[in-house]
Amino acid sequence: MSEKKDTLKFFAENAFARCDRAFKDITEKEIEWRPVQESNNIRWILTHLSTEWNVGLPRMIKGDAKYKPAGWPDDYDKINHHLPKLLSDLEKGKAAVLTGLDSLKSADLDANIDLGRGPRKRIEMLTIYLLEAVQHAGQIAMLKGNITRRREKEPNFLK
């Protein structure tokens, strides 16, 4: 493996681990809650991450703007998936990404690919999406923290 590929895979594994920690112990009720009507809830964030991990990142790895896993619905982001389904889909996406990263060669990382927004280096696009996963893990941690603090005053909040 190249140093670049090793570093990218190490970063991906750590980004996914950070997300796993953020997903830990959340409930169906908690993923529906939002602090204000205009904000995203955890369900929206999980659905978005699942789409990125199962479709977006694999498209970058394959260099194929139209790639979708077999059976992936076009309206996935419009479906109100239950928490176990979302977590299962996230696990599948994570595995696909890590396997896909293993398949890349150093030259593949430096190649320009175009997924509809103009050509960019594959490694740059992959890094941006993995950074976004870390950002969303932070958003989930913030929402979970808000729920925890609210329960200090209202013990039955979202139970």
Give the model confidence (pLDDT) of 122-155 as tens digits: 999 999 999 999 999 999 999 999 999 999 999 9
Stretch (H or E) spanning 120: strand 120-121
Rounded average pLDDT over 1-23: 94
Amino acid at 130: L
CATH number, domain of 14, equals 1.20.120.450
With contact defined as beta carbons under 8 Å apart, do 12 and 130 qualify?
yes
Residue 136 belongs to a domain: yes
Q: What is the DSSP letter of 74?
A: T
Residue 158 belongs to a domain: no
Length of the chain: 159
Neighbours of 14 (CB within 10 A): 13
Positive or negative, the Cα torsion across 79, 82, 83, 87? negative
Residue 77 belongs to a domain: yes
- What separation in angstroms does the CA of 14 have from each of 18, 62, 83, 141? 6, 22, 22, 16
Among residues 93, 89, 100, the alpha carbon closest in space to that of 64 is found at 100
* Confidence band for 2, pLDDT divided at 50, 70 and 90: confident
22-71 per-position pLDDT tens digit: 999 999 999 999 999 999 999 999 999 999 999 999 999 999 999 999 99
In this prediction, residue 20 carries a pLDDT of 97
Q: What angle do CA 26, 49, 158 make, to 5 degrees?
A: 25
Residue 10 belongs to a domain: yes
Residue 159 belongs to a domain: no
Give the count of domains, the chain. 1
Positive or negative, the Cα torsion across 107, 93, 128, 20? negative
81-99 per-position pLDDT tens digit: 999 999 999 999 999 999 9
Residue 89 belongs to a domain: yes
- Phi first, then psi, for residue 115 (nearest 5°) are -110, 25
Range of the domain at 101: 3-153
In this prediction, residue 8 carries a pLDDT of 97
